[in-house]
Amino acid sequence: MKDQKIIQKSPPIFPFTAIVGQEEMKLALELNVIDPKIGGVMIMGDRGTGKSTTIRAIADLLPEIEVIKDDPFNRHPTDEVQKKFETELIKIPMVDLPLGATEDRVCGTIDIEKALTEGIKAFEPGLLAKANRGILYVDEVNLLDDHLVDILLDSAASGWNTVEREGISIRHPAQFVLVGSGNPEEGELRPQLLDRFGMHAEIRTVKDPELRVRIVEERTLFDLEPYIWIEKYKDQQDLLKQKIIDAQKLLDKVEMTYDFRVKISKVCSELDVDGLRGDIVTNRAAKAYAAFQAKKTVSIDDIQLIIVLCLRHRLRKDPLESIDSGYKVKKVFQDIFEIS
C-alpha cells in the first residue's frame, strides 16, 4: 500500500532516451549537467517541439543527491560543520519559474516584523533556494521581465542569492543549471542577457513524415501505459545515467592542448565576440564532451561538435545579413583549425 502512495505522488516522466531527434538540445543539457559551470542553456525554437518534456526528462534521469534533511536550500551535509545533521537522498530539484513570478517569489522574503520584534532573521525561501543543486527552468524567458532575468543570471553565475530588506541581509547558496526556452517569433532576448547563457540550442519542427509518425506513436504509447514504457527504456536510462556520473568524475582530469586553446580564442576574435565568455564556455564544453566520451584529452572533433552551441548567440546581429550565425561559426572554425 505504501508503494501505491509513492506512485500516485510521482507522475510518470517521459524517458530522456526515448526522445526522438532534437540532438542539439539534448547534448547541451547533458553537457551542462556534467559541468554546471558552463552556464546554462538557452533553447529557442517552435512551439510544440518537446522543450519542456526534454528538460523534465534530463532532471528525472540524474542520480539522487544527499541533502540535510528538511533543509530549505538542499545543502550537502559536508557544507555544515556546527553539528551532526540527519541526511536524506532526494531527486535532483527541477523548479519551474512561472512567467508572472514576482521578485519576492523568486528570491525569497524577510519578515521584517518578526526580525525586529523577536530578533531573529525570519526568511521565507524563494524559488532560487528550492533550485539549489538542481535545474531552474524558465519557459518563455524572452517574455520575462529583464530585471528578473538579471537576478537569475547573477545567481547562476555566482552560485549565491542575497536578499536585503530594511538593513537586514540574508545570503544562501543558489547553484543551479539555468535553462531558458522561448519562441523567436515572440521576440528575442536582449543580446547582453543572451550572451550570459553558456550555450544556445536551436530546435525546429521535424519535417520528415516518418519521424513525425514515430514521435507521435512513442508519445501515444507512453500516455497509454506509462510505467510499462518507462520499464522498456530502463536499461538505456541506466546506461546514460552512469555515463553522466562517470563524466562528472573524469572532468577534472581532462586536458586540452595549448594550441587548441589558442585556436579557440582566434575563432572568438575572428568572429568579433565581445568579452571572454565565449572562450571560457567553449573550453569548458569541449572538456565536458571529451569526458562524456570517456576521454582525457580533447580532440578537434570534440571542439567542432560544441563550438556552434557555445558561440552562435554571441555574434553581433546585422539585420541586413542573411548568413546564419551557426554557419559563420562553422566557417571560421574550419579556416582556423584548417579543416577542409
Active-site positions read 277
Q: C-alpha cell of 209? A: 513524415
CB 170 within 8 A of CB 160: no
DSSP-derived pairing of the beta strands 160-165 and 168-173: antiparallel
- Nearest to residue 175, comparing CAs of 160, 193, 196? 160
Using only the alpha carbons of the chain, give its radius of gyration.
Answer: 21
Residues 6+ apart with CB under 8 A from 138: 97, 144, 152, 178, 179, 180, 181
- Nearest to residue 179, comparing CAs of 58, 267, 79, 80? 58
CB 8 within 8 A of CB 219: no
CB 293 within 8 A of CB 243: no
Strands (E), the chain: 41-45, 65-68, 87-90, 94-96, 108-110, 123-125, 134-139, 160-165, 168-173, 176-182, 199-203
Query: Around Cβ 183, how many Cβ atoms within 10 Å?
Result: 17
CB 79 within 8 A of CB 94: no
